[in-house]
Structure 1
Amino acid sequence: MTEFHQLPIDLPVPVDDGACDHLTGLTFPAVSLHATAGRDVDLSALAGRTVLYIYPRTGTPGVPSPQDWDSIPGARGCTPQSCAFRDHHAELQALGARVFGLSTQTTPQQAEAAARLHLPFPLLSDMAGELGRALRLPTFEVEGQHLLRRVTLIVKDGLIEKVFYPVFPPDQNAANMMGWLRQQPA
């Protein structure tokens, strides 16, 4: 499938393998990440709530996805996930949360996607894998690419308050964040 905005109906559902069980309650590490907004961001230093959705990679029109991409549980759906966060961005802000997306793609790759998808929030690059290693985030490899598995973190005042893993379907992730935030005091 080459349409990045559509999810295949037979997309395999990822299972919870326990790879994120250790994250809730952790202090978010002080790691400076390049952002598409043109500045570096250290999420550990931000006051209030931050929604950080972590995804494998955003597809690029005209560039084929890795072989068998749709058959890897949790791999497909980065563009629909980002678009859902875009579409619900104002509502998430009204609930007191800022939004960032994060992958291991380069900042120029992410900047292309952010511009093409009209994202109103920055994407962060963990190309060097520093944050992924510090948090021991789950990963997978495909065609020589070391990619992060899809997980969403809610960070409050430098602590990981809530972990959503696995994330499925990815296009419902933003709506699920809004539901959770509505139930939590600010």
Structure 2
Amino acid sequence: MQDFTILPQGLPDPADDGAAAHLEGRTLPIVQLASTAGGTVDLGSLDGLTVLYCYPMTGRPGTALPEGWDDIPGARGCTPQACAFRDHFAELRALGVRSVFGISTQTTAYQREAAARLHLPFPLLSDSALELQEMLDLPVMDVAGDVLLKRLTMVARDGVIETVFYPVFPPDRNAGDVIDHLRRRSGSG
């Protein structure tokens, strides 16, 4: 069985294609995304400091990844990225982050399995209807006919996107990169 928590060696680095350059300074739209915690989350009503990390899809034990998945720059690593945000969750909260959300185009039912299996202390949000993707023109990839979000992380304050990490590589270091950024901004590191 494949261990999705470990990144294989030799993954291709994703290039910065400029597809996220327009996001800093944008306001998070009023959009209701289904949450693995139940109900929905309106991104437009978030206040305080929020971290939103977008990812293509989490793997599921016993289910094969799409053909050639490891060869797609930036595709592999959703589980290690989620686990890193889980492992650094308390540190993020101590730095003033009020909310952390993972966002993908997978259904809430699919995400719920991953959130439970990985013991995530924050919800995953489903953009399966591509509403957020269209409103913010988030970068995507087409894999076997499925539209998946490219990996990026947004740090927003009171609903305004202040910082965007794109491309994110390697994904298991993304949470640490966000923490380093927040420390520099606060002058505590």
What are the superposed Cα offsets for residues 44-102 of structure 1, whole Å, 9 maximum, x if unpaired?
21111100000000000011000000000000000000000000000001111121100
Paired AA for residue 109 in structure 1: Y
Alignment of 1:1-186 (within 5 A): 2-97=2-97, 98-185=99-186
1:113 to partner: Cα distance:
0.1
1:2 to partner: Cα distance:
2.4
| Whole-angstrom CA distance in 1 between matches of 2:78 and 2:170 | 10
| Whole-angstrom CA distance in 2 between matches of 1:120 and 1:95 | 16
Percent same amino acid among aligned pairs?
61
What are the superposed Cα offsets for residues 83-124 of structure 1, whole Å, 9 maximum, x if unpaired?
000000000011111211000000010000000000000000
| Whole-angstrom CA distance in 1 between matches of 2:48 and 2:183 | 15
Task: Quote the RMSD (CA, aligned, Å).
Answer: 1.2
| Whole-angstrom CA distance in 1 between matches of 2:96 and 2:42 | 18
| Whole-angstrom CA distance in 2 between matches of 1:43 and 1:137 | 15
Instruction: Describe the SS at the equivalent of 1:184.
Output: helix
Q: TM-score, normalised by structure 2?
A: 0.96
Instruction: Describe the SS at the equivalent of 2:142.
Output: strand
| Whole-angstrom CA distance in 2 between matches of 1:39 and 1:122 | 11
Give the conservation status (yes or no) of the 8 Å contact 1:102–1:124. yes
Q: TM-score, normalised by structure 1?
A: 0.98
Instruction: Describe the SS at the equivalent of 2:185.
Output: coil
Give the conservation status (yes or no) of the 8 Å contact 1:44–1:159. no
Paired AA for residue 110 in structure 1: Q
1:153 to partner: Cα distance:
0.2
Paired AA for residue 55 in structure 2: Y
Paired AA for residue 122 in structure 1: P
| Whole-angstrom CA distance in 1 between matches of 2:27 and 2:101 | 18
Paired AA for residue 170 in structure 1: P
Instruction: Describe the SS at the equivalent of 1:19.
Output: coil
Which 5+ residue runs of structure 1 have no aligned equivalent?
A: none
1:6 to partner: Cα distance:
0.8
Q: Which runs of 4+ in 1 moved over 4 A?
A: none
Give the conservation status (yes or no) of the 8 Å contact 1:83–1:119. yes
Instruction: Describe the SS at the equivalent of 1:183.
Output: helix
Instruction: Describe the SS at the equivalent of 2:57.
Output: coil
| Whole-angstrom CA distance in 2 between matches of 1:169 and 1:180 | 16
- Using the TM superposition, name which of 70-79 and 40-49 deviates more: 40-49
